[in-house]
Chains A and B, each alone.
Chain A
Amino acid sequence: MASNGPPPPPAARTDGPPPPAPARRTGRARRPGTGPRHGRADRAALALMLGVPALLVVGLVWLPAAATVLLSFTRWDGIGGLDTIEWIGVQNYTDAFTIYPPFEPALRNNLVWLVVLFTVPTLLGMFLAVLLDRELRGGSVYQSIFYLPVVLSLALIGFVWQLIYSRDQGLLNAFLAMVADAPAVDWFGNPDINLYAVLVAAGWRHTGYIMLLYLAGLKAVDPSLREAAAIDGAGPVRTFTRVVFPALLPINLVVVVVTVIDALRAFDIVWVINRGRNGLELISALVTSNVIGEASRVGFGSALAVVMLVISLVFIVVYVSTMLRGAQR
């Protein structure tokens, strides 16, 4: 076997070994039973190669997620033994929706987060991708600049924007005071506006990400579609809305899911600013402070986490089925 030399490129499928050619229809030839029999060692290797990763994923992700669902129906301080867990039915959920003041703002803020991400950065990202998806002088430079924030962590972005938003030392107030003699505004501290100030920073990062996804999607759109539309006399806007955009359906789904999941998982940036209080309540931050905070209300925190889990699972199912359908083609 030529495994010592440089491997042939994957495209070199012309000179395969002649007779035992695989059935081309299915791509993969072998079905269980028809292939060469595996020895004991081979079977062990296969089991380990799939089993170890699967064990990690199931053991550290899925089982804890299931346990969270169970815990959400209990009262527990998280410190005592498992026998101190008290089964209380849906009490935690009732409490969350009725007597837990931060819950409602958190739900609302997550929703605002989602709506804002969808309206401004997603549309802007798509728009930039459409502008940059062509031969353009400096196109790759623009592209790089827009995606620069994507490599930064959201925690770091919180700090970087503090230099702009800080009440006493921030650029924005200094600038406003200079041009308009405006009074100092506490951009990250005022509960009426801090969510939007944070969203500017979060959107700054999200835009580049969406742009990259659409750029990849646009490259995959068959150019003859556009030509045909142009020959039929469709203008650029019409060509995009009627021809290109529908052809981007898989990417659109990915973008929807990515945006929803990002909005739901948003955490780092509000945590570094004020631990998700005072106008910056988010479900993720509530869960975290209920669980690792001083109060340590495990059952209650779990109920909040289950709310997140349920919302995200809806979109995860959509995403996974889309991706797998695409992959099976």
Chain B
Amino acid sequence: MTAETLPETRRTGPPTRRSPARRRLRPARVLLHAFLVVTALAWLFPVLWAVVNSFRDYDYTAVHGYLSLGGFTLDNYANAWNQGELPGYFLNSLVITVPAVLLTLFLSSCAAFVLSAYSRRFNLVMLAVFLAANLLPPQALLVPLFRLYNAVPLPYWISGSGSLYDSHLGVVLIHTAFQIGFCTFVLSNFMRAMPASLLEAARVDGATVFQQYWKVVLPLCRPSLAALATLLVTWIYNDFFWALALLSSGDKLPITTALQNLQSAFFVDYNLLSAGSVIVALPTLVVFFVLQRHFVAGLTLGASKG
């Protein structure tokens, strides 16, 4: 590629632009790496600080201060896990996140399929309605939603409160409603790029509309679905507001929202709080380390278009 032999974009470098010689650019490259290393370390620092202190004994740091070494222990993790009753909150997060992600992907891929293959007339209007909903400030829906949720009765085996309010189902539904917009948009872009002949062939074979969706289109969407699923898991797991607004029983809270209660439970023991934070961050860190490619792809899926 010729691009590599060209003088490169660089702000930190001395005015050597004119010179095509690579050797002259070396100092600039050193500066570039120095800048990146320093910035990257600064970026990592808050996380590393939390991780390091989560392994330290509170009594030790209370006496010697945090700018010291020593007092390393694993007790904080055990204490955070047990005192903070983290397992129950994790379960709540699971009960909310998994159904919400699956439901969102199913419904949005259905809608995207219809919009991209069948309905040309409603296409733009519907996509606009869907996509815009994803960006509304959640607070703007709070009051009517609160009333609505209280007014919808549910059998007690689904919700101990007897209504949609203070039920996991209610939180799942609002997450789904909010996220459908973005996913429908991304998936319909993807589906529109598929050759129409695929569906034609399926139709000739007598496949029903649902079979065309389920057996032909959906399998081809797997990369997009994986990226979106990664993104949705992170977003929904990280949600703080909806659980705060739509759940009233403390024992139903997902872990991200429950953290606030942990803060008072852990009092001023910052090492314990660090351990709790690290535990809570673990699922998203798994996303970060293992599913990075999907996450980045998902984040830029919508944006790189156009």
Contacts and interface: CB of A to CB of B under 8 A. Distances in A.
Interface string A135-154: 11110011011111111111
A284 B47 CA distance: 27
B137 A145 contact: no
A60 B300 contact: no
B137 A298 contact: no
Given A3-B207, A49-B113, A204-B43, A134 B136 contact: no
Contact of A64 (B66, B144, B203): B144
Given A153-B240, A212-B296, A312-B136, A49 B7 contact: no
The listed residue with most B CB atoms (<10 A of its CB), out of A45, A127, A144, A283, is A45
Interface in A270-300: 271-272, 283-284, 287-288, 291-292, 298
A151 B288 contact: yes
A49 B250 CA distance: 36
A62 B180 CA distance: 13
**A-side interface size class:** 35 or more
A31 B299 CA distance: 33
Interface residues of B, number: 133
Given A152-B284, A159-B259, A3 B202 contact: yes
A50 B256 contact: no
B240 A320 contact: no
Interface in B181-197: 181, 184-185, 188-189, 192-197
Contacts of A159: 259, 263, 273, 277
B8 A62 contact: no
A106 interface: no
A53 B216 contact: no
B44 to A, nearest CB: 6
Contacts of A201: 46
B67 A178 contact: yes
Given A49-B110, A54-B126, A212-B299, A265 B138 contact: yes
Nearest to A312: B137
A1 B202 contact: yes
The listed residue with most B CB atoms (<10 A of its CB), out of A132, A155, A291, A302, is A155
Contacts of A327: 127, 185, 188-189, 192, 305-306
Interface of A: 1, 3, 7-10, 12-13, 16-17, 20-22, 27-32, 36, 38-39, 41-42, 45-46, 48-50, 52-54, 56-65, 67-68, 71, 78, 127-128, 130-132, 134-138, 141-142, 144-156, 159-164, 166, 168-169, 171, 174-175, 178, 201, 204, 208-209, 212-213, 215-217, 219-220, 223, 226-227, 230, 235-237, 239-240, 250-251, 254, 257, 261, 264-265, 267-268, 271-272, 283-284, 287-288, 291-292, 298, 301-302, 305-306, 308-309, 312-313, 315-317, 319-329
For the complex of A and B, the 5 pairs showing the least CB-CB separation, nearest first, are A326-B306, A16-B197, A153-B238, A216-B300, A67-B144
Given A20-B204, A156-B277, A305-B142, 18 more contacts: A1-B201, A3-B215, A13-B197, A78-B143, A159-B277, A160-B50, A164-B49, A166-B270, A208-B43, A216-B303, A220-B304, A230-B6, A240-B9, A261-B137, A292-B146, A292-B244, A319-B135, A329-B306
